[in-house]
Amino acid sequence: MNHHSLRVIDHPLVQHKLTLMRMRETTTDNFRRLLREISQVLAYEVTRDLPTAMVRISTPLTEMFSPLISGKKLCVVSILRAGNGMLDGVLDFMPAARVGHIGLYRDPQTLQAVEYYFKMPTDISERLVVVVDPMLATGHSAIAAIDRLKAAGATSIRFVCLLAAPEGVTAVYQAHPDVVIICAARDEYLNDHGYIVPGLGDAGDRLFGTR
């Protein structure tokens, strides 16, 4: 098993907020706010190595060379629906990014991802794509989303999640070894229903209060 590209963000603030999110009694509004806050930090980490170029500018006092981001422009892709809980936090940090959406649901019998929606910016092939989905469980949705993004022309893809199951990480790296994964925690295992353990339950239901 090769986890060389899995980055776990063990910042104390992230771990503290994640513990609150895991707690059964955390309310929908707090869960949503905490996911947004953690997503800001994950966005910071996933863009840590973006290239910059020095440009000459004038401050009110003098002239200087100062760095501006010089590489590909960004596109954040949310895997519906739970990915939307990360979107605003990521966009807080990169407000000029374009946004794509992929609708996938998990067939409850096979646990396979079935696509029902796909809308991307037309220049996706020229952008660094940051895919967001809080729970990397079996990896089926992540792999299907990345397959589809590559088919649409994306060449540079990173995957940001809150919790990653070892099974999902292995599956994504087998299918897409070029994709870096960033998470707040790598949990223990998947149960028979495809839920991450210890996990936090169904992220979509907890975000939107649907159960």
Where do runs of H (alpha helix) occur along the chain? 12-22, 28-46, 84-93, 140-151, 166-175, 203-208
Residue 179 within binding range of ligand URA, rule CB under 6 A: no
Please give the single-letter amino acid code of residue 68: L
Instruction: List Cα–Cα distances, 77 to 21, 35, 149, in angstroms.
Output: 23, 16, 9
Residue in 34, 79, 137, 183 binding ligand URA, rule: CB under 6 A: 137
Annotated active-site residue 106? The verdict is: yes
Shortest approach of ligand URA to residue 21 CB, angstroms? 12
Per CB under 6 A, contacts with ligand URA among 13-72 are: none
| Catalytic site includes residue 211 | no
In contact, 32 and 199? CB cutoff 8 Å: no
Paired residues of 52 in beta bridges: 69
When the beta carbons of 77 and 141 are compared against ligand URA, the nearer one is 141
Residues 73-102: x/- map of binding to ligand URA (CB under 6 A)?
Answer: ---------x--------------------
User: For this structure, is 10 an active site residue?
Assistant: no
Q: Looking only at Cα atoms, what is the longest distance across the chain? A: 66
Examine the residue annotation and report whether 110 is marked as an active-site residue of this protein.
yes
Check binding of 105 to ligand URA (CB under 6 A): no
Residue 203 contacts residue 135 (beta carbons within 8 Å): yes
Q: Where along the sequence are the contacts to ligand URA (CB under 6 A)?
A: 82, 135, 137, 194-196, 199, 202-204
Active site residues: 106, 110, 202, 205
